[in-house]
Amino acid sequence: MNDLTKSPVRNSNTAQAQRQRLKKQIREHGSCTTIYAREVLHIQSPAPRIMELKNIENMNIDKIMVLDVTAQGTWHKVANYFVVANDE
């Protein structure tokens, strides 16, 4: 079936929905890698969603580059995004 209008999750991949999934992951689990965002959260381009979280929701997010493995067993150097604590 190629009719996306019949998909039960047709609205779940809006930029806003992707930002919410990414924000929830980072807040509840401390971080999120590019691979996790793509494979589990279904966000194919997490970097723009991170930029939007920074600019729209004023989240203080940083990243470190890490080695991570895909579900297929291939290793990649990817971003691991995390919230930076405020110095208040």
Residue 63 domain-assigned? yes
- Judge whether residue 9 has pLDDT over 70: no
For the segment 12-56, what is each residue's pLDDT rounded down to a tens digit?
889 999 999 999 999 999 999 999 999 999 999 999 999 999 999
Q: Which residue has the higher pLDDT, 80 or 10?
A: 80
DSSP lists the bridge partners of residue 82 as 62
Residue 32 domain-assigned? yes
Residue 2 domain-assigned? no
Residue 3 domain-assigned? no
The residue range of the domain holding 67 is 15-83
Residue 26 domain-assigned? yes
pLDDT value at residue 34: 97
List alpha helices for 3-62, DSSP H.
15-29, 34-39, 46-56
Residue 54 domain-assigned? yes
DSSP letters along 36-51, please?
Answer: HHHHTS--S-HHHHHH
